[in-house]
Every structure is written in structure tokens, then in C-alpha cells.
């Protein structure tokens, strides 16, 4: 399973970064921004603080969003965890068809996707279908029972 979202503090900047370094670097590159500008508390528009910039990074990534806002159902003190293959699947932006064995985490992925869309996309929608209603009811029940920290 993937490690928890851990606070990363670059020693040369002394700034608390909660987004994993590789992802944060990619976001800086996307905005053509540098660590030097972050050090000077300069952020790309419309962001005015490190917290706002990081939260935007978290909200566009369903895995980071789950780590930041969801808790493990059986262990409410722990952040939500994924198997490595689930991270890639949840981040995939296209249509997904799950044809896998039971107990591999399909419902957990779908539940994260549904909650992420519900909390981060204005009037977000998606289609979740199953051959039997019982499978959808399991996902709906999991969504209701999941503790979301905002």
C-alpha cells in the first residue's frame, strides 16, 4: 500500500510543503514558477499563499484529495490508503470499465471517485453502473459511511 501523505520540508526553503515533492515540482513547472518565487512568498495568480496553492494541487488529484480528506473506514485515525495500481486507476481521466476479481478494491476506487467529484467539481457528474443494484448499494453505503474531513 502507498505511504501516507507526509509533510515534506525542503531544508533550503524552510517552507512546509504537504504535497509530495515530485507533484509540487510538476505544478511549479506547469505555472512556469520556481522555488525561489515560492521562497519569496510569490505565487501564480489567483493564489495568494502557499496553503491556497497546495490546496489547489490537492483538489485536482483524486488520490491526494482522498489522502487529505478521507479516513480509513476500519481505522478512523489513519488517512485513506490505496494499492499502487489503484492510484493510477483513480487518476485516469477517461472512461473506466472494471473487469476484475472480487476483493481487489473496485468499490473503494469508485467511492473515492464519486466523493472527489461531489466535493471538487461544480455540478460534477459521472455514470456508475453495475450488473446488479446490490453492487451500487454497496458503493452508496460506503460513501455514506466514509468520514470526510473538510
* Count of Cβ atoms closer than 10 Å to residue 41 Cβ: 10
Question: Could you tell me the three cell numbers for 82?
Answer: 490505496
pLDDT 10s digits, 19-74:
888 888 998 999 999 888 888 888 888 888 888 888 888 889 999 999 888 888 77
Are the C-beta atoms of 53 and 35 separated by less than 8 Å?
Answer: no
pLDDT for position 134: 82
- Nearest to 134, CA basis, from 146, 142, 122: 142
- Nearest to 66, CA basis, from 83, 49, 82: 82
The predicted model scores a pTM of 0.74
Are the C-beta atoms of 128 and 136 separated by less than 8 Å?
Answer: yes
pLDDT for position 17: 66
Task: Give the whole-number percent of the chain exceeding pLDDT 90.
Answer: 4
Is the per-residue pLDDT at 107 higher than 50?
Answer: yes
pLDDT for position 32: 92
Across the range 80-98, mean pLDDT stands at 82
Amino acid at each position: 500500500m502507498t505511504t501516507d501523505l507526509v509533510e515534506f520540508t525542503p531544508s533550503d526553503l524552510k517552507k512546509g510543503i504537504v504535497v509530495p515533492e515530485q507533484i509540487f515540482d510538476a505544478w511549479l513547472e506547469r505555472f512556469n514558477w520556481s522555488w525561489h518565487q515560492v521562497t519569496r512568498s510569490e505565487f501564480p495568480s489567483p493564489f495568494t499563499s502557499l496553503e491556497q496553492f497546495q490546496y489547489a494541487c490537492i483538489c485536482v488529484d483524486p488520490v491526494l484529495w482522498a489522502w487529505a480528506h478521507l479516513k480509513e473506514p476500519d481505522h478512523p485515525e489513519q488517512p485513506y490508503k490505496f494499492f499502487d495500481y489503484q492510484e493510477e486507476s483513480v487518476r485516469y481521466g477517461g472512461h473506466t470499465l472494471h473487469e476484475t476479481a472480487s476483493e481487489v478494491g473496485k468499490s473503494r476506487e469508485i467511492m473515492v471517485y464519486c466523493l472527489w467529484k461531489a466535493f471538487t467539481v461544480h455540478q460534477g457528474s459521472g455514470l456508475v453502473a453495475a450488473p446488479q443494484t446490490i453492487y451500487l448499494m454497496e458503493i452508496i453505503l460506503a460513501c455514506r459511511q466514509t468520514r470526510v474531513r473538510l
